[in-house]
Amino acid sequence: AAAAAAAQGSPGAAVAPGAGISAKLAYLNSLGDTAVDFDIAPPRVVSSTVSATMSTTSATATTATTTMFLSTTVPAVTTAATKPAPTTPNEGGALMNDSLLAQKNKNDAAKVEWPIVILRGDGNVYVLCAGIDTNRPKLQGPISIQPQVDDNYGLDSCSLIVIPTLPPTVIIAESTGKTHHALFLEEECPLDRSLTQQQQQQPASIQELANLTLYPCEWYLHVLETVELELGLPGVQEAKEATKTYTCPLHLKRDPLNDARYFVYHNAGLHAITLDFTRQLHEFVQGDGGEDLTERYPLFNTHSRAEYVVCTKALQNANTNAVLGFTLLQSPSGLVLLLASGQVVSLDLITDHSLIRNWPLTASGNNKSSNNSESPVKNMLKDSFQKRIQMILKTGLTQPILKLDQTTEPSPQESFELLTQMTRMLRDHYFVRHEKARQEIEKRVHVLKLLKQQQLADIEELQAEKLKIRETAERLAETYEDLCDKQNALFKRAQEAVRLATLRLPKGSYSEKKFAEMIDKIHQSVKVLQKNVDQVKQKISTQQVQLESRKKNVKEKSFTLPAKQEEIIKQIIGEMYTQINGNVNDVKKINNILNIT
């Protein structure tokens, strides 16, 4: 409305159209009231029922909107419902609202809208919701930015991009070199930010021109972090005072190959910034729904990483070799820069940002807390010495590729200043680390020497202990042999004493008599069995003679027995054979007992 009033001018004044427009634009630009950049957020599906109250003095809108974000990167849907605004207590207006609602419900259907995020120079952010068939888009804003700060996250904003995460990530850049990373979240209770009440209090001429209504904000921004970029190499005076004097507009470019990375190009070069919280958001959305959500909330405890890729401003007063154009290549992945001096810089690009550098952000603190209970020497010897030296020499800074303007030669003072900067950088960031690595190596060598001396002393003690143990073992072996000889001699003497005592007994014992009687009985039975065996042998011999004679007779005359008789005879012979074999075995056993051959 203020811009429209300025465009209208005072009554009766003759103003040239071209001069009036340029003066107003310059005035608005100086106040930061013009839009400097915009980007399109992921689309959403909207099913809305709108009713408007028509009256001669006021116009209010009641909306009941259900939105569903359509994300191109994460297969998930977020739904939110905005509460209807209270209507005016006008009966005629209420009846007209009811009729309009009944008519609209027949024709309204779900449609796709794209939230267009608009950035103004003073840091305010607006959202314009528009679809393909939208006649009059809804403008919302300025949307709230949380947490609130005094400068509204910069009064000199220059660029904005939206990264299609879930929820979307909005990047806002300032000319001072700061970029703010914020999440584009939905409001649970949208606030009325409409200017209709304010327009009623304005003069009629202004109301006629102010035909744009600001609707209640459905979103708000929650800033997670702010990254401060280095615009060119700092001069000697800037390094001493720790202040930044150079500012320039920043231009943002999203990486189509990696949603967690974007690029910032400006008059002082090119930066590549990697977002770490996008990975945590992706893991939270893709997590199993059965788990406890409170245990999987992203903590956002890690910081984003900024890499200075190309630097085009090394001296404070030198001409800047600004980046005029920037594009990304996909196959193979790379980037191309067009500089003001006419140079074209092409660099290879690593698709996965985790392969660029392993950033030790929280490792040192965790190691301190986990190794408090152990001694420093054990911690030193337990860790890999090579990895420790690599971690000491690894710097958290990245040195850009220097591309200066080659059309003009730098003055000796500028060259000296550049040499001083390089020397200071080497002294502050590299020589200190090398000195620390040297001290670490010396400390390691000293500890190893002490351990070697201790081990040599332990070896000498072990050798002396070994000799003592060997002498003790030899002495114990001799003592054992002497004791074995004495024990054998005593055992033989005991056996001889028992034998002599047994021989001098007057009579044998009762058990010996019983054993002798039993032996006599066995001897008698053996004789009887021997006689029986002899008789059996004679019978066998006579039977063999008879069988031979019968065989001869059988050859001459064949005689066959019935099968039953033959089987009975076989059984009788088998029993006799078994009985004879048992008698023979008994005789053999008795002979063995009596030692009879």
Residue appearing with tokens 């209970």: 373
User: If you average pLDDT over residues 197-226, what whole number do you get?
Assistant: 62
pLDDT the model gives residue 90: 41
Query: What's the one-letter identity of residue 407?
Result: T
Average pLDDT, the chain: 74
Predicted confidence at residue 8, as pLDDT, reads 34
Q: What is the pLDDT of residue 431?
A: 82
Question: Collapsing DSSP states into helix, strand and coil, what is residue 474?
Answer: helix
Question: In this structure, are residues 172 and 251 in contact, taking their beta carbons and an 8 Å threshold?
Answer: no
The angle that helices 385-393 and 432-503 make with each other, rounded to 10 degrees, is 170
**pLDDT tens digits, one per residue of 123-145:** 889 999 888 888 888 888 788 88
- DSSP label at residue 216: P
Percent of the chain whose pLDDT exceeds 90: 21
pLDDT of the residue at 196: 42
Separation of alpha carbons 259 and 166, rounded Å: 11
Give the count of domains, the chain: 2
Residue 382's CB is within 10 A of a number of other CB atoms, namely 9
pLDDT at 383 over 80: no
Q: Does residue 572 lie within any of the structural domains? A: yes
- What's the pLDDT score for residue 116? 92
216: left (phi > 0), else alpha (psi -120 to 50), else beta? beta
- Identify whether the C-beta of residue 371 lies closer than 8 Å to the C-beta of residue 383: no
Q: What is the pLDDT of residues 278-310, one digit of tens each?
A: 877 777 777 665 555 555 566 667 788 888 888
Distance (Å, whole) CA 209 – CA 200: 12
What tokens does 83 get? Answer: 């509460």
Q: What is the DSSP letter of 430?
A: I
Please state the rounded mean pLDDT for residues 406-430: 73
Residue with more model confidence, 13 or 539: 539
The reply to whether 592 falls in a domain is: yes
Contacts of 303 (CB under 8 A, 6+ apart): 225, 276, 361
Range of the domain at 566: 562-596
Residue 583 placed within a domain = yes
Checking 334-341 for CB contacts under 8 A at 24+ apart, the result is 335/263, 335/270, 335/309, 337/265, 337/270, 337/310, 337/403, 339/312, 339/403, 340/405, 341/405, 341/406, 341/407
Residue 538: inside a domain: yes
Tell me how far apart the alpha carbons of residues 357 and 339 are, in angstroms, rounded to a whole number.
27
pLDDT band at 252 (very low <50, low <70, confident <90, very high): very high
Query: Nearest 5 degrees, angle CA 334-CA 336-CA 337?
Result: 145
Residue 40's alpha-carbon distances to 168, 179, 259, 282, 426, in angstroms, are 10, 18, 15, 21, 44
Q: Is residue 442 part of a domain?
A: no
pLDDT at 210 over 80: no
CA distance 501 to 269: 119
pLDDT at 472: 95
Q: Is 571 inside a domain boundary?
A: yes
The pLDDT score that the predictor gives to residue 25 is 52
Residue 529 lies in a domain: yes
Q: How do 214-215 and 178-186 pair as beta strands?
A: unpaired
Mean pLDDT of 47-67: 40
Give me the pLDDT at residue 213, please. 62
Question: CA 266, 267, 272: angle at the middle one, nearest 5?
Answer: 35
CA dihedral angle for residue 248, residue 254, residue 255, residue 257, rounded to 10 degrees: 180
Which pTM does this prediction carry? 0.55
Residue 541 maps to a domain? yes
Residue 291, token pair as written in the block: 């788990």
Rounded Cα distance between 328 and 261, Å, is 12
pLDDT in tens, 94-127: 444 444 444 554 455 678 888 999 998 888 899 9
What's the full length of the chain, in residues?
597
Residue 260 is predicted with a pLDDT of 86
- Please give, one letter per residue, the 3-state secondary structure of 252-271: EEECCCCCCEEEEEECCEEE
Integer CA distances (angstroms), 542 to 89, 131, 538, 545, in order: 147, 132, 6, 5
Pairing type for strands 401-402 and 305-311 reads parallel
149 and 83 Cβ atoms separated by less than 8 Å: no
C-beta separation of 418 from 410 below 8 A: yes
Under 8 Å between Cβ of 170 and 119: no
